[in-house]
Each structure stands twice: as structure tokens, then as C-alpha cells.
Amino acid sequence: MEPLIKTEGLYRYYGKHCAVQNLSFELYPGEVLGLLGPNGAGKSSSLRMIAGNLAPSAGKIWLDGVDLQANPLQAKRVLGYLPENPPLYPELTVDEYLSYCARLHCIPGCAVDEAVSGAKDRCGLDDVGQRLIGNLSKGYQQRVGIAQAIVHDPTVVILDEPTVGLDPIQIREIRSLICDLGRERSVILSTHILPEVQATCSRVLILHQGEQAYVASLKDDAPQVSDCFLIRLAQPPEQASFAAMPGISHADQLACGHYRLHLESADVHSASKLAEQLVQAGWGLEGLAPEQPGLEQIFVRITTGEHGS
């Protein structure tokens, strides 16, 4: 299968400052990529390059197999882009604005009305079609921005912080819209909000100082290996006796009877082995759960340069 978005060795310099370095990834139809990173990590620059708003200093981008630098007009046909600040004209009504966007994206005149009402429907804008964009609240303006990005039914959708300024209900609606879009299209979204990535994305890419620091799939079917377990014991022993057990590097007491155990090494069987050990020791094992390194821990570890937690 052809990737819908492919980038290879993207670099972007602002003067001597390198905003993005060596960004390479591929995104297939049906995938939602979450771009994470602290402020100034190069998220927006990366997205602007992929959306054709910024020329990369080096590297190549293909959208649906078409080289964006060599053939920009054809490549941009499949693209829908919501920049950080939604590109809205406050003096137009929502309907006027969306039909202008549809026409800009080469929708033939007879199909414009249909495209506009489809986009309004998906973004919950049915009631505000006749209102001026300048008079709408921030949340509605953000939704008009998203509607603008999907009005021409693009296969590649790029959303730069799509849920900024929305209330919790709207955030849920937009997340389900993104999941919906991600079924047959490729979606990239950037955000600061970690739960948003966990809720909507199938893959995550963490940028740190312009570099690709972490890439992982968030799909649940991968076997999970953890070197960290939370346990609950009925008859807790002395803290030191954990260290005496083979395979355990150290233990932290969280509360009375609750411990976090760190193993020296981990594989898919480590949970059952640990359970056996604990039962044999006769401490009254009541609970054992692998602790996944959450996205937040990974994020903090990468962005602050800390190792282990």
C-alpha cells in the first residue's frame, strides 16, 4: 500500500537556528499520527512544511505519492490544512467562507453547496451558516477552521492544535470527528494535550528540539512488556527482603501494603514469574498489575532529559 504522507530527511533552518532536523516518517490510510512536543519543538514548522506553506531547507515530501516540491498543485489537491490560527475572514458568513474554500480547492460549482453542507454537518455548524464569522465564539471559529480543512473531502488532513479554545463537549465531538476522519484518510494532528493523543491517535511522534525523539504505535494489539509492577500484599515484609529476591532491582513503598517493583530485565513472561515468586514467599499477594510507562512519563523523560522514573 502506498503511504499517503511520506517525508524523508526534512530539515528547516531559520537563519542559523535549526527548527526541524531529519524528520522522516510514513503515514498510511487509516492512521492518525499525533505530533507531540513542548513549545518550540518544531511541530508547527513541520506541519507547515507538509502543508506546503513553508519550503523545507532540505528533504522531500510526498502527498499521496506526488512530490510536493516538484508538483505542488497536484499534491495540494488531496490536502486539507488547519493552521495554528484558523485562516478566517471575519467579514464573511460561515456559508460564504466555506463555499469560497470549496471553490479554491477546485470543487466544481454545482457540487459546492453539497460540500459546504456536508462539512457544516460534520463540524456541527448547521445553525450558524448565516452568521458572520467575526461574531462567532472562539470554539465555533475553531470548528469553522476544521470545516474549512475537510470541505473538499481531502485524503490527507493536517490539523495544528485543533481543540484549542473548545469546551469539553466540543473537544469530545472533535475527537470523534478526528477518529472518524482517520478511518480512511491520513490525519496528522499536533497538540500539547497528552490524553488527546491517547484518545485519537494510532501513532505518536514526539519532537524535541526539532528532532524526532520517539515514535511508537498506540494500538492495543502489541504485546506489552513492562519492567515495572504495582503489587498489593496482605502481609508486607521488610522493605529489604524485596531486594534479596532474584530479578528485582529495587522496590518503592507507595502506601501500606502497596509497592512498586522494578525488575532488572523484562520479557513477556515476567508477570507470571513474579507472581510465582511472590506467592512462594507467602506474603499474601492480593494484586499485581504491570505498570505501563504512560505517554506522559515518556514525554517528560524525553523533554527534560531525565532517564528512568
Partner 1 sequence: MILTIAARELRSLFLSPLAWSLLAVMQFILAWLFLVQIESFTLLQPRLTGMEDAPGLTDLIIVPLFGNVALITLLVIPLLSMRLISEELRSGTFSLLLSAPVSMSRIVLGKYLGLLGMLGTVLLISMLMALSLLAGGVLDFGRLAACLLGLCLILAASAAIGLYISTLTSQPAVAAVGGYGLLLFLWLINLAAGADGKGSALFAWIAMPTHFDRLLSGLVRSSDLVYFMLCIAICLVFAVHRLDSLRTRP
Establish if 9 lies at the interface with partner 1 (CB under 8 A): no
Establish if 172 lies at the interface with partner 1 (CB under 8 A): no
The residue among 26, 81, 88, 85 whose CA lies nearest residue 53 is: 81
Question: How many whole angstroms from its chain centre is CA 153?
Answer: 21
CB of 118 vs partner 1, minimal distance in Å: 18
The residue among 7, 65, 23 whose CA lies nearest residue 210 is: 23
CB of 253 vs partner 1, minimal distance in Å: 53
Q: Which of residues 102-141 bind partner 1 (CB under 8 A)?
A: 103-106
CB of 27 vs partner 1, minimal distance in Å: 17
Q: Which is nearer to partner 1, 52 or 270 (CB)?
A: 52
Number of residues that bind partner 1 (CB under 8 A): 35
Give the one residue of 8, 67, 96, 113 binding partner 1; rule: CB under 8 A: 96
CB of 197 vs partner 1, minimal distance in Å: 23
Full strand arrangement of the beta sheet holding 156-160: 66-67, 58-63, 5-14, 17-27, 211-217, 203-208, 32-36, 186-191, 156-160, 79-82
Q: Which is nearer to partner 1, 87 or 195 (CB)?
A: 87
Establish if 77 lies at the interface with partner 1 (CB under 8 A): yes
Establish if 6 lies at the interface with partner 1 (CB under 8 A): no
Cβ burial 124-139 (10 Å sphere, 16+ → b, else e)? bbeebeeeebeebeeb
Establish if 92 lies at the interface with partner 1 (CB under 8 A): yes
Q: Which is nearer to partner 1, 156 or 204 (CB)?
A: 156
Give the one residue of 1, 73, 110, 222 binding partner 1; rule: CB under 8 A: 73
Using the contact rule CB under 8 A, the part of the chain among 95-103, 168-176, 222-230, 286-294 near partner 1 is 95-103
CB of 40 vs partner 1, minimal distance in Å: 17
CB of 127 vs partner 1, minimal distance in Å: 22
Establish if 278 lies at the interface with partner 1 (CB under 8 A): no
Using the contact rule CB under 8 A, the part of the chain among 9-17, 184-192, 262-270, 271-279 near partner 1 is 9-17
- Torsion sign, CA atoms 44, 46, 47, 48: positive
Q: x-or-dash pattern for partner 1, window 146-165, by CB under 8 A?
A: --x-----------------
Establish if 13 lies at the interface with partner 1 (CB under 8 A): yes
Using the contact rule CB under 8 A, the part of the chain among 10-18, 29-37, 207-215, 242-250 near partner 1 is 10-18
Chain positions contacting partner 1, by CB under 8 A: 13-15, 48, 51-55, 57, 72-74, 76-77, 79-81, 83-89, 91-92, 96, 100-101, 103-106, 148
